[in-house]
Amino acid sequence: MKNLLGIKEMSKKEIIEILDTAKKLDCMNENKRRLQLVGKIMTSLFFEPSTRTRLSFTSAAYKLGCQVLGFDNPNMSSVVKGESLRDTIIMVSAYSDVIVMRHYIEGAAKFAEEITDIPIINAGDGANEHPSQTLLDLYTIREELGNLENKKIAFVGDLKYGRTVHSLSNALKMFNGEFYFIAPNTIQIPDYILKELDKANIKYHIHNDYKDILKEIDCLYMTRIQRERFDDIDEYNKVKNVFRISKKDIDGKCNENMIVMHPLPRVDEINIDLDNTKYAKYFIQAKNGVPIRMAMLSLATGKIKSKAAKKKIDYKIVENKNIICQNKKCVTQFEETKNKVVKKDYGKFCYYCNKEIK
């Protein structure tokens, strides 16, 4: 499987293989499991703050017997001296068997893949994708609801900048999911994602409140309004407290088997009185990050050989001499890239950051 860059690059069979591998490793004898990646080195490059993702990747590596290098503060690295991402990846590749990277620049993981032969695992790139979070979300849904097929999911909160929502909606459309996008207009789900859902004939609904659909859904997926993603602080202040749920909003008013998920960290969008109810699964969700990331490391390094069929490419990729992506947070604006564009029958998209090119 090697590189794990985004959900869009994965087939349904590859996703299921990762979930099944995670379950197998989680149930494996601890002493046997700790021999899986003995002699391997995982380098963890976190250019952006993280608690769950960074620590669960590190925990996963240790549980597999893998050694860990890296940093969680770029200010303690040569980045502060002006070193480019290109040079950082080239140098780190000399010390690593697999690189796990989180970056604030969108498309950074795909760029890294182009300049190294070492496996790259995307631990989140700006507001673009977060595949390992999506995989643990899928694992949680499957464990709690029994399967992934035909689930009705309500995404609530920051849908414009929420990379977890972008990735999870892309994954669940492979399982014929039905989506409810609940957010103020200024942070509603991007049009390019709706175009992809239309192309796949997936049902979705646009709302600005979740209360009327609680009886219909299987999962309420809450998200934090991400202050760090907003260029305009006034825009953030208008929406920062728009959704807050507590036990009284859920208990007795929803589908009895409904679950509440959240990628965390939460701020004030979920009251702590919901934590001990049967609906709350967000801490279990976070715990599930360890087996999922054990599976990703094992498959990326080739310790466990992937047998799943790759996703068929149904689009054309074109290289350009000049920068063509208009997204100012795209890696093409910061590094010398091949300026690749994905051409589909419903539009042109940046290969790196996935944003539509008008």
Tokens, residue 152: 């009705």
CB atoms under 10 Å from CB of 252, counted, come to 8
Going by C-alpha positions, the residue among 115, 140, 70, 102 that lies closest to residue 5 is: 102
Pairing mode of beta strands 316-318, 259-261: unpaired
Distance CA 143, CA 347 (A): 36
> Residue 357, SS3?
strand
Beta-carbon contacts of residue 126 (< 8 Å; ≥ 6 apart): 103, 104, 105, 106, 107, 108, 163, 329, 353
Give the Cα-Cα-Cα angle 249, 251, 255 (nearest 5 degrees): 105
Instruction: Judge contact between 134 and 171, C-beta under 8 A.
Output: yes
Question: Could you write out the three-class secondary structure of 333-355?
Answer: HCCCCCCCEEEECCEEEECCCCC
| Nearest-angstrom CA–CA distance, 341 and 38 | 40
- The catalytic residues are 52-53, 81, 102, 130
Per the CB < 8 A criterion, the answer to whether 110 and 351 are in contact is: yes
Which stretches of the chain are DSSP H helices? Answer: 12-27, 30-33, 52-63, 85-93, 108-114, 131-145, 163-172, 191-199, 233-239, 247-250, 282-287, 289-301
Rg (Cα) of the chain, in Å, rounded? Answer: 20
- State the Cα–Cα distance between residues 7 and 129, nearest whole angstrom: 8
Q: Angle at which helices 289-301 and 12-27 pack, to 10 degrees?
A: 110
